[in-house]
């Protein structure tokens, strides 16, 4: 479907990117610079997401795909994406990462319960950004895409995001995750469920030697929604004012815009 | 030329609002301007585009409005619409039409059409800074056509005002279009029917949403955003 850039929206990815590095936000969303290369980790994560979505869609239709089929989706995606683009590999070669992804998906597949009530897969929502304390509305609507929506035994809606990570998540990571806050808010404002009925969960597949699947359930309260509004408001204020400074840190190592960033100085 | 009719203020229902670089702006839709010109000039007017330019992110046209031997010229602009992701052009023709409508409205302003919209407004902010005291009044920055809207976060016009809606219009103080859209969207998401939206507004403010002030609309939005979904 065609969507014009005139729509006044901001995505979770844009919010997150501005918070992580405003200058990279500018390169990506204002200047729209085409990166010369793609980090392998990005394609890897998308490949796992694509394979998992294939599994969830099949399970939703009552026919969960076999492990071999899920791994095949990943392998095809991996082969295609790494062939078409200039990819930079840091941790492992193309073949090694294919092997790692295959092993991770075996753990993923073994960790799924075919009886899970799957409500939707990769659900896209566009919701207004409202301050629930004052009724103020931002001029941008918030767009999110949720990996997976489940219904638990108590009838709660569970919004799940599948992650690949080098190690287990900490409690702090889960409790402060902006992404889960955004999902909770969007599920409520999009009319999917009342806030009290929304559960959130990170499913983290570790990229360790022996991959593991960890599930981290959590939830959010109204105050988290208010805080999200204020955060979004400040980010948009920064974008409006043209504040695009670099944030230097660990993320610079695999940044596609590193050369351009140094040149900016 | 019926100047009285040309300069007659538009009805509140004909005045739309959007966010512009200098806050909330009132504007009149193109078809209302055409209707006003037809009425006041008995249809005896012509409009032509004498020049157009297609730039990377916007199109610009120079319009010429002629009536009873008098000519008014002004520029009109519109953003170039592109497909999200690929960035491919969607319809340059539509973008040019939108810019032409913008130019027509700005030319008509010189004849007095819609001039009241900024009669009470101070010329402030970045827009005014570069014009100087001798410059002609700047017509409102309303969208050029029905489909026009503010730019997306990724567009080069990102530095336009984007955050917040709370400022009342300098002219009317009425609820903004964004607020009205939000009231409808959030109410529907919460399971209310359109009639129930009006009923909720009437019960609380004795007015339908379209007649609410900015502050009242905020209160209604705040309440709607906090209610549980209707169980049917």
Residue of B nearest to A31 (CA): B156
Q: Does B225 reach chain A within 8 Å, measured CB to CB?
A: yes
Share of chain B above pLDDT 90, in %: 31
What whole-number distance in Å separates Cα of residue B69 and Cα of residue B45?
9
Between B139 and A21, residue with greater pLDDT:
A21
Between B127 and A204, residue with greater pLDDT:
A204
Q: Does B98 reach chain A within 8 Å, measured CB to CB?
A: no
pLDDT at A118: 96
pLDDT digits 0-9 by tens, B152-185: 333 333 222 333 333 444 345 789 888 998 999 9
CA separation (Å) from B69 to A39, B41, B46, B63?
65, 12, 10, 16
Flag if A4 and B84 touch (Cβ within 8 Å): yes
Flag if A132 and B191 touch (Cβ within 8 Å): no
pLDDT at A137: 94
Q: Looking at the partner chain, which of B19, B84, B87 has a beta carbon nearest the beta carbon of A139? A: B19
Flag if A138 and B164 touch (Cβ within 8 Å): yes
Flag if A128 and B162 touch (Cβ within 8 Å): no
Share of chain A above pLDDT 70, in %: 97
Flag if A222 and B226 touch (Cβ within 8 Å): yes
Distance from CA of A51 to the nearest CA of B (A): 22
Flag if B154 and A133 touch (Cβ within 8 Å): no
Strands (E), chain A: 9-11, 38-39, 87-88, 117-130, 137-151, 157-165, 198-206, 213-218
Q: Looking at the partner chain, which of B149, B158, B226 has a beta carbon nearest the beta carbon of A132? A: B226
Q: Does A222 reach chain B within 8 Å, measured CB to CB?
A: yes
- Give A10's contacts in chain B (Cβ within 8 Å): 153
Least confident of A6-10, A29-33, A261-265, B210-214: A6-10
- Give B186's contacts in chain A (Cβ within 8 Å): 128, 130, 189
pLDDT digits 0-9 by tens, A176-219: 999 999 999 999 999 999 999 999 999 999 999 999 999 999 99
What whole-number distance in Å separates Cα of residue A48 and Cα of residue A251?
21
What whole-number distance in Å separates Cα of residue A112 and Cα of residue A215?
11
- Give A137's contacts in chain B (Cβ within 8 Å): 165, 178-179, 182, 218, 221
Q: Residue range B4-29: average pLDDT?
A: 76
pLDDT at A70: 97
- Give B156's contacts in chain A (Cβ within 8 Å): 30
- Given a cut of 50, whether residue B91 has pLDDT beyond it is yes
Mean pLDDT over each residue of chain A, to the nearest integer: 92
Residue A188 contacts residue A224 (beta carbons within 8 Å): no
What whole-number distance in Å separates Cα of residue B200 and Cα of residue B186?
13
Report the DSSP beta bridge partners of residue B27: B16
pLDDT at B116: 78
Minimal CA–CA distance to B14: which of B114, B105, B99?
Answer: B114
Q: How confident is the model at residue A112 (pLDDT cuts 50, 70, 90)?
A: very high
Distance from CA of B232 to the nearest CA of A (A): 13
pLDDT at B9: 86
pLDDT at B21: 56
- Given a cut of 60, whether residue A5 has pLDDT beyond it is no
Radius of gyration of chain A measured on its C-alpha atoms? 19
Minimal CA–CA distance to A232: which of A190, A181, A162, A194?
Answer: A181
Q: Looking at the partner chain, which of B83, B152, B166 has a beta carbon nearest the beta carbon of A136? A: B166
Tell me, what's the ipTM? 0.81
Instruction: Provide the chain B residues 13-42 that lie in CB contact (below 8 A) with chain A.
Output: 19
- Give A15's contacts in chain B (Cβ within 8 Å): none
Q: Does A4 reach chain B within 8 Å, measured CB to CB?
A: yes
Q: Does B86 reach chain A within 8 Å, measured CB to CB?
A: no
Share of chain B above pLDDT 70, in %: 71
pLDDT at B24: 60
């Amino acid at each position: 479907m065609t969507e014009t850039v005139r729509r006044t929206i901001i995505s979770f990815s844009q919010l997150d990117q501005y918070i992580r590095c405003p200058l990279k936000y500018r390169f990506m969303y204002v200047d729209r610079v085409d990166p010369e290369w793609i980090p392998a980790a990005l394609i890897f994560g998308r490949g796992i997401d694509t394979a998992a979505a294939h599994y969830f869609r099949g399970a939703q239709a009552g026919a969960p795909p076999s492990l071999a089929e899920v791994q095949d989706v990943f392998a095809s995606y991996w082969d295609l994406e790494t062939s078409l683009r200039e990819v930079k590999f840091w941790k492992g070669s193309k073949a090694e990462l294919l092997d790692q992804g295959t092993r991770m998906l075996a753990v993923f597949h073994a960790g799924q319960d075919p009886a899970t009530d799957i409500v939707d897969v990769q659900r896209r929502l566009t919701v207004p950004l409202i301050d629930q304390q004052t009724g103020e509305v931002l001029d941008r609507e918030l767009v999110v895409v949720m990996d997976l929506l489940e219904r638990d035994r108590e009838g709660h809606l569970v919004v799940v995001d599948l992650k690949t990570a080098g190690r287990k998540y900490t409690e702090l990571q889960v409790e402060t995750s902006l992404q889960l806050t955004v999902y909770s808010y969007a599920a409520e404002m999009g009319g999917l469920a009342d806030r009290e009925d929304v559960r959130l969960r990170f499913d983290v597949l570790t990229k360790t030697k022996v991959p593991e699947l960890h599930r981290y359930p959590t939830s959010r309260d109204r105050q988290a929604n208010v805080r999200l509004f204020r955060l979004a408001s400040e980010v948009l204020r920064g974008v409006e004012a043209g504040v695009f400074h670099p944030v230097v840190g660990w993320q610079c190592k695999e940044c596609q815009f590193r050369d351009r960033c140094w040149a900016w100085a | 030329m019926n100047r009285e009719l040309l300069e007659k203020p538009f009805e509140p229902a004909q005045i739309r609002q959007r966010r512009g670089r200098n806050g909330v702006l009132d504007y009149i839709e193109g078809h209302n301007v055409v209707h006003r010109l037809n009425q006041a000039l008995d249809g005896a007017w012509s409009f032509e585009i004498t020049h157009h330019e297609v730039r990377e992110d916007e199109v610009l046209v120079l319009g010429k409005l002629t009536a009873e031997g008098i000519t008014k010229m002004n520029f009109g602009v519109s953003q170039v619409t592109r497909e999200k992701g690929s960035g491919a052009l969607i319809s340059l023709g539509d973008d040019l039409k939108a810019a032409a409508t913008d130019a027509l409205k700005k030319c008509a302003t010189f004849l007095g059409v819609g001039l009241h919209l900024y009669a009470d407004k101070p010329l402030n902010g970045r827009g005014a800074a570069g014009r100087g005291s001798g410059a002609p009044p700047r017509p409102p920055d309303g969208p050029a056509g029905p489909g026009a809207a503010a730019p997306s976060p990724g567009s080069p016009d990102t530095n336009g005002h984007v955050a917040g809606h709370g400022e009342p219009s300098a002219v009317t103080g009425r609820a903004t279009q964004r607020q009205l859209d939000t009231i409808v969207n959030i109410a529907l998401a919460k399971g209310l029917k359109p009639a129930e939206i009006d009923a909720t507004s009437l019960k609380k403010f004795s007015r339908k949403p379209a007649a609410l002030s900015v502050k009242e609309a905020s209160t209604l939005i705040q309440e709607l955003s906090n209610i549980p979904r209707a169980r049917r």
